[in-house]
Amino acid sequence: MIDSGNAAIVSVLAGYVLVLVGIGWWTSRESSSVSGFYLAGKKLPSWVIAFSANTTGESAWLLLGLTGMGYLVGFHAMWVVLGEVLGVALAWTVVARPFKEFTDRYDAITVPDYLADRFKDRGHALRIVSAVIIFTMVVAYTAAQLVMSGKAFSSFIGTSYLTGVLIGAAVILVYTSVGGFKAVAYSDLVQGVLMFLCLLLLPIAGIWHAGGWSALMAGIGQADPALLQPMGAHGFSLAGVVSAVSFAGIGLAFLGAPQLLTRFMSARDRRQIPRGGVIAVACIVVFDVGAVLAGIAGRYLFPGLADPETVFPVMATELFPAVVAGLALVVVIAAIMSTVDSLLILASSAVIRDVVQKILRPDLPDRGLSVAGRILTAVIGLGGLAFALPGENQVIFWFVLFAWSGLASAFTPVVLCSLFWRRTTRAGAIAGMVAGFVSAIAWALVFKERFLDLYEMIPGFAAGFAVTIAVSLLTEPPPGAGEEIDDVRRVVGGPFTAGEGS
């Protein structure tokens, strides 16, 4: 029997799923081509790409993982906020416009498309390396999101972890197979608005129930004074500095993770970028500050939780009536879906566009390729499901960061060099991608514990940049690359100027 509280939660969730199916149906007729399915025909407005980028970048990691970090380490988690706000701001002001200009010139649909054209890669090495990295990390990332789904359903309505994972996977796979990138982007908008409202209201409710800000700070200080310290339990020591740098380093991925770069590519025109940037930065501030403060308030109100990453659903169900708790569950599921559908389409595009269409079968028609993309998207999702099923005890924060760092370390150094350094070469790009990816993974698996848990994205970025630059200096850039960069710079202008044709 479902009690009245759970019935209200389930009803809200069912209504939300119907909204998503409606969005998928509305946009499905525009996803019959490769460009339509994977990039919404490059017709999206600023407010859609802004919310889509943030919800894809944050996911349920924000709602369960970052609130859990606020619960565990208190104000030390604010270093994550600093890193992400800076990363989002730099991405929209420095990276987005030149990247949009380049990809429009090349008529690129994927990030590997852009890299192959930028470096005149006729041998397809960049496409193949990109596809392998994306496919590997997306399966891990998807598994992490489905772990979150299991925890969310278990915490809100008392299902088993396994049932929660299966429900989450079913909803995600059905919805993703209905619509293409346009459906993903507009569902991200709905999901982002819900996340924004929830992370604005939940910490306010938590602070109010704690008796106000002063009472909360006093109670937290009595429970553990380190929770009030910006450097955490380590204090101002080498370990504390490494921890702070690692948390702030999470934001580096916003500068070039491929699932975020596709949002810039999908914009209607370059004028959407400055408008979207303002929305994105304001949104990320509310997202991250709200998550950390909610976790801190939860530590005071509900001390001793066995799993800190359940603090968000515990607060929602205990502080609000059942209908509002149902909306909170919808927000968690929305965050999961906003990332998983984007990742599945990213991996599918790397195979269908960059391997099948560009290498194996360039003669296949668009409609057939889009159908194959839908099928492959579902298959990749099932692969992530297989990894998530036994993973109830996995810690979301670190599992997501592992996949996040692998993708970002492979692509961001190479993309930044390709946009701003005239001497970057094809060989340097290939070597840099491999070095960044391998270094991040090796650091996480072998070296991390020996070096004060320094976050793997930092050595991954260092290796990616160093190898890209070193190999590029030993090889020749493609003809006309310097002139092309100069022309793009002239057209788009600087970070705070309009440029030509804007």
Q: Which two tokens stand for residue 118?
A: 């930028």
- How far is residue 444 from each of residues 126, 146, 196, measured CA to CA in Å? 24, 21, 32
Considering the entire predicted model, what is its pTM?
0.88
pLDDT beyond 60 at 496: no
Q: Which residue has the higher pLDDT, 278 or 8?
A: 278
Q: Confirm if 325 and 9 have CB atoms less than 8 A apart.
A: yes
Q: Which residue has the higher pLDDT, 212 or 188?
A: 212
pLDDT tens profile 415-448: 999 999 999 999 999 999 999 999 998 998 888 8
Q: Confirm if 41 and 183 have CB atoms less than 8 A apart.
A: no
Q: Confirm if 13 and 329 have CB atoms less than 8 A apart.
A: yes
Q: Which residue has the higher pLDDT, 40 or 24?
A: 40
Place of tokens 């598994």: 143
- DSSP structure class, residue 478: P
3-state SS, 158-187, equals CCCHHHHHHHHHHHHHHHHHHCCHHHHHHH
Determine the pLDDT at residue 287. 95
Kind and range of the H or E run holding 200: helix 181-209
pLDDT beyond 70 at 3: no
pLDDT tens profile 365-408: 877 777 777 778 777 777 777 766 665 545 555 566 677 788 89
Determine the pLDDT at residue 282. 95
Q: Confirm if 83 and 408 have CB atoms less than 8 A apart.
A: no
Q: Which amino acid, residue 195?
A: M
How many other β-carbons are positioned within 10 Å of the β-carbon of residue 12?
19
Q: Which residue has the higher pLDDT, 371 or 127?
A: 127
- How far is residue 341 from each of residues 181, 257, 267, measured CA to CA in Å? 9, 16, 18
Q: Which amino acid, residue 58?
A: E
- How far is residue 397 from each of residues 72, 281, 364, measured CA to CA in Å? 12, 22, 41
Q: Which of 489, 272, 80 is nearest to 263 (CA)?
A: 272
pLDDT beyond 50 at 177: yes
- DSSP structure class, residue 473: H
Determine the pLDDT at residue 165. 79
Q: What share of the chain is helix, strand, coil (3-state, %, to 5)?
A: 80, 0, 20
Round to whole Å and give the CA distance between 408 and 12. Answer: 35
Highest mean pLDDT among 6-10, 126-130, 449-453: 126-130
Q: Which of 201, 194, 265 is nearest to 51 (CA)?
A: 194
Average pLDDT, the chain: 86
Determine the pLDDT at residue 1. 41
With a CB cutoff of 8 Å and minimum separation 6, the contacts of 361 are none
Q: Which residue has the higher pLDDT, 70 or 35?
A: 70
Mean pLDDT of 309-324: 85
DSSP 399-455: HHHHHHHHHHHHHHHHHHHHHH-TT--HHHHHHHHHHHHHHHHHIIIIIGGGGTT--
DSSP 233-275: GG-SSHHHHHHHHHHHHGGGGGGT-HHHHHHHHTBSSTTHHHH
Lowest-confidence segment of 53-67, 191-205, 240-254, 263-277 by average pLDDT: 53-67
pLDDT beyond 80 at 209: yes
pLDDT beyond 80 at 29: no
Mean pLDDT of 71-95: 96
Determine the pLDDT at residue 19. 81
Give the N- to C-terminal CA distance of the chain in Å, as an integer. Answer: 60
Q: Which amino acid, residue 99?
A: F
How many other β-carbons are positioned within 10 Å of the β-carbon of residue 233?
17
Mean pLDDT of 334-356: 80
Lowest-confidence segment of 98-112, 222-236, 395-409 by average pLDDT: 395-409
Determine the pLDDT at residue 15. 81
Three-state SS for 44?
Answer: strand
pLDDT beyond 50 at 2: no
Q: Which amino acid, residue 355?
A: V
Round to whole Å and give the CA distance between 188 and 179. Answer: 13
- Domain 4-395, architecture per CATH: Up-down Bundle (1.20)
